[in-house]
Amino acid sequence: MEIVICEDAAEIGRIAASKIIDLVRRKPTAAIGLATGSSPLGIYAELAHAVARGELDMSRAHGFALDEYVGIELEHPQSYYSVIHREVVERLSMDPARVHVPDGRAADLHSACDAYEEAIEQAGGVDLQIVGIGSNGHIGFNEPTSSFGSRTRVKALAPQTRADNARFFDSLDQVPTLCLTQGLGTIMDAREVVLVAQGEHKADAIAAAVEGPMAAVMPASVLQGHRYATVIIDEAAASKLQYTEYYRHAWNTKPERAVSAAV
Ligand code: GLP
């Protein structure tokens, strides 16, 4: 894992967005795994600027959302379908036909999950998956004890997650109890994974995910086994890590950075 400690949310957005910009320039039809939540908003803002300046064309890229609530109306402002279309598809001028969100309103949810896995495969797999992290260590909606081999499926939301997400709804009882989420195995199949997090309330989860044992009770720790996983966080989210000095040193002396600084 590469750990990048940033000054603020804007820097997190810039560094993570630059990976996507490089990728889409190299491969205009790249498949990007999209996350909801507040953490990736800085990435989308940076990408939106690049699109507005004519420096990035996302119109041929594919998008696959990580997750969706079960039973929520598509038009509900907090359905992940709405969030992804509002925050990503529109702002980045993506082709809506190429952007997928698991169908939380399907009559047969299990088939919808299988169809989602198939759609990812049809697109040639996810090139770069963006993930945030829940305060309990979930990625997507893979709650603690999710199998490291799991695929897109129906999950029950943890009480902690419903409480955390209640801020987006009028009251706690309006937060759905079930969701569809890409599995940890699905996420691990992405060619690259970029986890972004900011704030002290993420510090415990980040410390456990990065420096704790790989364990199903800490779903984000699965990323320790990924060949190309980058964790981009602010000082507050990094505040409970042990080896920050090393992470800063490794980032500052990274050969690619030395090369680009020299150019
Ligand atoms: C939700 C999403 C996750 C996200 C998490 C953290 O539960 N399903 O994908 O990472 O919230 O959200 P935030 O970035 O707002 O803290």
For residue 224, report the distance from its CA to the centre of ligand 1, in Å.
Answer: 19
Q: Does the C-beta of 102 come closer than 6 Å to ligand 1?
A: no
| Protein residue closest via CA to atom 6 of ligand 1 | 134
Distance CA(36)–CA(22), nearest Å, equals 22
Instruction: Specify whether 143 is catalytic.
Output: yes
Q: Which residue matches tokens 């699109």?
A: 51
Instruction: Specify whether 57 is catalytic.
Output: no
Distance CA(183)–CA(72), nearest Å, equals 20
Taking the CA of residue 165 as reference, the ligand 1 atom at the shortest distance is 7
For residue 263, report the distance from its CA to the centre of ligand 1, in Å.
Answer: 38
User: Read out DSSP for 115-151?
Assistant: HHHHHHHHTTS-SEEEE---TTS-BTTB-TT--TT--
Q: Does the C-beta of 66 come closer than 6 Å to ligand 1?
A: yes
pLDDT in tens, 177-192: 999 999 999 999 999 9
Q: Does the C-beta of 63 come closer than 6 Å to ligand 1?
A: no
Among 68, 103, 136, 142, which one carries the catalytic annotation?
A: 136
Distance CA(182)–CA(185), nearest Å, equals 8
Instruction: Specify whether 136 is catalytic.
Output: yes
Q: How many CA atoms lie within 13 A of 80 on its CB side?
A: 29
Distance CA(133)–CA(193), nearest Å, equals 12
When the pLDDT of each residue in the chain is averaged and rounded to a whole number, the result is 96
Q: Which helix (H) or strand (E) holds 257?
A: helix 255-262
Residue 207's identity, in one-letter code, is: A
Domain range list for the chain: 2-262
Residue 197's identity, in one-letter code, is: A
- Bridge partners for 194 per DSSP: 130, 230
Among 138, 142, 192, 226, which one carries the catalytic annotation?
A: 138
| Protein residue closest via CA to atom 12 of ligand 1 | 37
Among 46, 67, 189, 192, which one carries the catalytic annotation?
A: 67
Pick the CATH number of 2-262 from 3.10.20.30, 3.40.190.10, 3.40.50.1360, 3.20.20.80: 3.40.50.1360
| Protein residue closest via CA to atom 11 of ligand 1 | 37
Q: Residue 155: what pLDDT?
A: 97
Distance CA(13)–CA(213), nearest Å, equals 28
Q: Which residue matches tokens 């997750």?
A: 67
Q: Which helix (H) or strand (E) holds 204?
A: helix 203-211
The pLDDT-based confidence of 263 (bands split at 50, 70, 90) is very low
Mean pLDDT of 14-29: 98
Mean pLDDT of 187-216: 98
The answer, yes or no, to whether residue 36 has pLDDT greater than 90, is yes
Q: Which residue matches tokens 């829940």?
A: 134
pLDDT in tens, 120-161: 999 999 999 999 999 999 999 999 999 999 999 999 999 999
Asked if residues 215 and 152 have their Cβ atoms less than 8 Å apart, the reply is no
* Sheet with 31-34: strands ordered across: 2-6, 229-234, 192-197, 128-131, 31-34, 62-65, 99-100
